Structure 1
Amino acid sequence: MLDYVNWFRHSTPYINQHRDCTFVLMLPGEGLAHPNFSNIVHDIMLLNSLDVRLVLVHGSRPQIEERLSARGINSRYHNDLRITDMDTLACVTDAVGALRIAIEAQLCTQQQGARLRVTSGNLVTAKPIGVVDGVDFHHTGEVRRVDRKAISRHLDEHDIVLLSSLGYSPTGEVFNLASEDVATSVAAALGADKLILFGEDTGIRDEQGELLRELKPTRAAPLLGKLGNSLPGNLLRAACKACNAGVRRSHIVSFAEDGAMLNELFTRDGSGTLVAQEAFEQIRSATIDDVGGLLDLLRPLEEAGILVRRSREVLETEISQFTLVERDGTIIGCAALYPLEGSTSAELACVAIDPNYRQGGRGDQLLQHIESQARSLKIDTLFVLTTRTAHWFRERGFVPSSVERLPAKRAELYNYQRNSKVFEKAL
């Protein structure tokens, strides 16, 4: 019970952050057929109740294959794209129509008086791929235009917009589209805050099988070469395309893992792979808006006697001295640099890393940043006063010093009752 309470408390910033945001969700046909789909529906309902604007794009590949097999029709591909002749198109429309009805039925299920409204329609205009390498793709198409105004209007009405892998041409033709193409095109057209892509695995893994928590599109090329046109490869390709088209963040999560989307959206570390242009974690200078987050980070360490207590007023006054490690909008580390008047020395103070993030070398990165900052200020010696972390500083080049070595004005402020050890490092 306590774990649930703590999770709910820590999710509050994300609840506020996501309100009135636009999310495009892409669920492949494999996800619709998985037993966990009913849980994903509940999670979609929850997001809707939290005032998240939702577009759900669904795929249908395995369902199409089932219908083709039942009718004795062989699947034909070229460059990993399905060739959609008239017989195949009949199977495509049959599969998509049945899936849309099933999804609408589940989303429209009333839950304790809360009823969702689902909207669909000819909101995506398509064009034919045509003939490639002498191969006629018939009714296989690609997105030509997204009716952004109509979709936005439905979202303003608090509807969930449901889109399939079918598109329509101005001449009345129907085209079979890749659901990833629909999802990325819609996300880009709407300027969506997030594109959430569901795959079978937890996210994208490196060559050693380790989950990649964060990935920039520029670093994805080797992985895309390895993954090819598999489902993970298609999802990663779509995530990169969306980011390059202006969507700030794309998330790849598992459709097989219960609650994967909620963990990705409402916890600091998430559960899948985040693909984003900007740094998910960064070192930056503090501003006055960071005082509340700093207090949350420092209070436990102050209560344990590791750091000297600083009031909100002191932090507000000294905020320009602080450098922060920020992870997805949350402060997980800090350090302060105080140049000492009348000398070429400075004091390094208030070095703190959230206990949950002390194994990632962040303290070293923060120290390197502070040292670089000090050098730019023509500081040649760093002093640090500590009671509990002497070994950490000694391992990083600080040597034992004394109060007498401190510049006079700083030595006058030394707290003999606290009895901190003094260390220094030549820059």
Structure 2
Amino acid sequence: MFEPTLMLTHSTPPIEDKEIAAHQAQFVQWLRSVAPYIHAFRNKTFVVAFGGELVMAGGLDSLIQDVALLRAMGMDIVLVHGSRPQVEEQMRLRQIESHFSEQMRITDAAALEAVKEAAGELRLDIEASISQGLPNTPMGNARISVVSGNFVTGHPVGILDGIDFQHTGVVRKIDAESIRMSLNSGKIVLLSPLGFSPTGQAFNLTMEDVASAAAIALRAEKLIFITEAPGILNEKNELQRELTLEDAQRIQTIGQLDHDSEFYLKYAVRACRAGVSRSHIVPFTLDGSMLLELFSHDGVGTMISYENIESLREATVDDVGSILQLIEPLEQNGTLIKRDRHQLERDINHFSVIEHDKRLFGCAALYSYPTDQIGEMACLIVDSEAQSAGDGERLLHHIEQRARAHGLEHLFVLTTRAEHWFLKRGFKKASVDDLPAERRRLYNWQRRSLVLIKKL
């Protein structure tokens, strides 16, 4: 009865088995690709802020599942929720008219009760979602505890342009020490948009104010706003995926953004100016947007950083391991000849690399033949995750600049698979006889690489 099974093991695998194997390989490759991010983020503090609009849209459980995953990876999480639509609902139920000035709610005593009711209900909903632990769900075996309390001290906005904002307040202080103690004991900390004064008064705060103040006080690695806005758009309505602090401040002065985007950007900039490494504005309309923003090269929203997170620089010995990882898949499929660590360490001064958020995504090397006033660009590699981001173009341009600085007039490449990419960028077909004599002697006739040359 076992004979057919034995025969199958020696025959061509059925199509469905190949599909399963391809799916498994893809999963393993993806998991390995996110590993550097997990290592970099472990034990770092993330402040994750979201508005009541996300809850109204039914996105709370999905968000909490993603937060639980981050916590399982070792990140310390502070959640900050907003409640604007819930407050409006409470105001309607109480037949109270809303009043605003300077884009802030004027919170009288009746409105403050609506704010408290809305915040209280939301806090309970969030705590209930965090408490889920059903088997065969993303929250299975999560066992996460959440802590909330009077961590935020507030004070009144006061009177602006003759208008008394009454119980509307701003953050005065965050009890970072108590929050840190809770985080160190493995808890998620939940902050509501309410602040309290030493005299026992309560103030209606904005979620953005609380989140940015908490991120600053905790020296957080990231402040993440999960919003109804898609991110920061330019004048062509295109998403700005990365902004330096300088770029973000320039956009603020232009005044081209809609109210919501402008408000989020204001507090993202505030956090970065005060030392938070990265601020993110990502849309809640995309399921898993926070994970995609954190664990993919380009992200799905807008990231603001104190400085440009992408650098194109000359390689050092410390980059050898990362370059070997980039090279390995192309060596295995025959695109590149094999280089061992010793050879790479010896040649490291020839290499340039593109680094994105402390992770290498591309490299290229320049070997000069000054007698012939020509150089070879070798080992041009861009990680598959970043190949649509233009990193190959930037590396090529950089190598060309290096070649000109060495007084070279031509640049050549040897390729077996990327002919059309180079032809589109100004290279011309040539022959082995056009190579420098020294390089011609080392030409591998078994590989029969194409020779392409570009005049600089």
For residue 169 of structure 2, the aligned residue among 136, 141, 147 is 141
Q: Whose relative contact order is higher, 1 or 2, with alpha carbons under 8 Å and at least 6 apart?
A: 1
Aligned residue for 1:17? 40
What is the root-mean-square deviation of aligned Cα atoms in Å?
2.5
2:398 equivalent to 1:375 = no
Superimposed CA distance per residue, residues 283-341 of structure 1 (whole angstroms, 9 cap, x where no aligned partner): 22222332333233223333443322222332222122111123344433221012237
Question: Counterparts of 1:360 and 1:46 in 2: how far apart (Å)?
Answer: 28
Aligned residue for 2:100? 77
Question: Counterparts of 1:101 and 1:356 in 2: how far apart (Å)?
Answer: 40
3-state SS, counterpart of residue 73 of structure 1: coil
Asked whether the 8 Å contact 1:268–1:328 carries over to 2, the reply is no
Aligned residue for 2:20? none
3-state SS, counterpart of residue 41 of structure 1: helix
Asked whether the 8 Å contact 1:29–1:58 carries over to 2, the reply is yes
Question: Counterparts of 1:353 and 1:98 in 2: how far apart (Å)?
Answer: 49
Question: Counterparts of 1:380 and 1:258 in 2: how far apart (Å)?
Answer: 51
2:149 equivalent to 1:121 = yes
Asked whether the 8 Å contact 1:168–1:175 carries over to 2, the reply is yes
Count, aligned residues: 426
3-state SS, counterpart of residue 419 of structure 1: coil
Q: After alignment, is 243-252 or 232-241 more displaced?
A: 232-241
For residue 320 of structure 1, the aligned residue among 349, 356, 361 is 349
Q: CA deviation at 1:380?
A: 3.9
Question: Counterparts of 2:417 and 2:29 in 1: how far apart (Å)?
Answer: 28
Question: Counterparts of 1:299 and 1:113 in 2: how far apart (Å)?
Answer: 37
Aligned residue for 2:395? 366
Q: CA deviation at 1:392?
A: 3.9
Superimposed CA distance per residue, residues 229-273 of structure 1 (whole angstroms, 9 cap, x where no aligned partner): 22x332222222222221111122233332222222223332322
Structure 1 unaligned residues grouped into runs of 5+: none
Q: CA deviation at 1:405?
A: 4.9
| Residue identity matched to 1:229 | H
| Residue identity matched to 2:126 | I
Superimposed CA distance per residue, residues 166-196 of structure 1 (whole angstroms, 9 cap, x where no aligned partner): 1112222211111101100110111100111
Asked whether the 8 Å contact 1:341–1:409 carries over to 2, the reply is no
Asked whether the 8 Å contact 1:37–1:255 carries over to 2, the reply is no
Question: Counterparts of 1:422 and 1:6 in 2: how far apart (Å)?
Answer: 32
Question: Counterparts of 1:104 and 1:280 in 2: how far apart (Å)?
Answer: 35
2:80 equivalent to 1:57 = yes
| Residue identity matched to 1:241 | R
Question: Counterparts of 1:394 and 1:106 in 2: how far apart (Å)?
Answer: 55
Asked whether the 8 Å contact 2:68–2:142 carries over to 1, the reply is no
Aligned residue for 1:346? 375
For residue 332 of structure 1, the aligned residue among 356, 361, 378 is 361
Provide closer, same or farther for how the CA distance between residues 363 and 176 of structure 1 changes in structure 2, counting only shifts above 3 A.
same
2:265 equivalent to 1:242 = no
Q: CA deviation at 1:84?
A: 1.0
For residue 262 of structure 1, the aligned residue among 265, 286, 291 is 291
For residue 300 of structure 2, the aligned residue among 256, 271, 274 is 271
Q: CA deviation at 1:275?
A: 2.0
Q: After alignment, is 369-378 or 52-61 more displaced?
A: 369-378
Question: Counterparts of 2:100 and 2:178 in 1: how far apart (Å)?
Answer: 34
Q: Sequence identity of aligned pairs in percent?
A: 46
Q: Residues 18-37 of structure 1 correspond to what in structure 2 (within 5 A)? A: 18-37=41-60
3-state SS, counterpart of residue 227 of structure 1: coil
Asked whether the 8 Å contact 1:217–1:275 carries over to 2, the reply is yes
Provide closer, same or farther for how the CA distance between residues 71 and 363 of structure 1 changes in structure 2, counting only shifts above 3 A.
same
Q: After alignment, is 18-27 or 1-10 more displaced?
A: 1-10
For residue 228 of structure 2, the aligned residue among 179, 200, 203 is 200
| Residue identity matched to 1:164 | S
TM-score normalised by the chain length of structure 1: 0.90
Provide closer, same or farther for how the CA distance between residues 316 and 254 of structure 1 changes in structure 2, counting only shifts above 3 A.
same
Superimposed CA distance per residue, residues 44-89 of structure 1 (whole angstroms, 9 cap, x where no aligned partner): 2222222210111111111111111111211111111111111111
| Residue identity matched to 2:192 | S
Question: Counterparts of 1:426 and 1:389 in 2: how far apart (Å)?
Answer: 18
| Residue identity matched to 1:32 | V
Question: Counterparts of 1:113 and 1:421 in 2: how far apart (Å)?
Answer: 56
Structure 2 unaligned residues grouped into runs of 5+: 1-22, 134-138
Q: CA deviation at 1:101?
A: 2.2
Q: 4+ residue runs of structure 1 moved beyond 6 angstroms?
A: none
Question: Counterparts of 1:417 and 1:244 in 2: how far apart (Å)?
Answer: 57
2:238 equivalent to 1:215 = no
2:256 equivalent to 1:226 = yes
Aligned residue for 1:47? 70
2:218 equivalent to 1:190 = yes
Aligned residue for 2:10? none
Question: Counterparts of 1:256 and 1:382 in 2: how far apart (Å)?
Answer: 47
Question: Counterparts of 1:46 and 1:352 in 2: how far apart (Å)?
Answer: 32
Asked whether the 8 Å contact 1:202–1:257 carries over to 2, the reply is no
| Residue identity matched to 1:75 | S
Q: Residues 2-13 of structure 1 correspond to what in structure 2 (within 5 A)? A: 2=24, 3-13=26-36
Asked whether the 8 Å contact 1:386–1:421 carries over to 2, the reply is yes
Superimposed CA distance per residue, residues 106-137 of structure 1 (whole angstroms, 9 cap, x where no aligned partner): 22334545422222222111121111111111
| Residue identity matched to 1:190 | L
Provide closer, same or farther for how the CA distance between residues 390 and 29 of structure 1 changes in structure 2, counting only shifts above 3 A.
closer
TM-score normalised by the chain length of structure 2: 0.85
For residue 326 of structure 2, the aligned residue among 297, 319, 335 is 297
3-state SS, counterpart of residue 354 of structure 2: strand
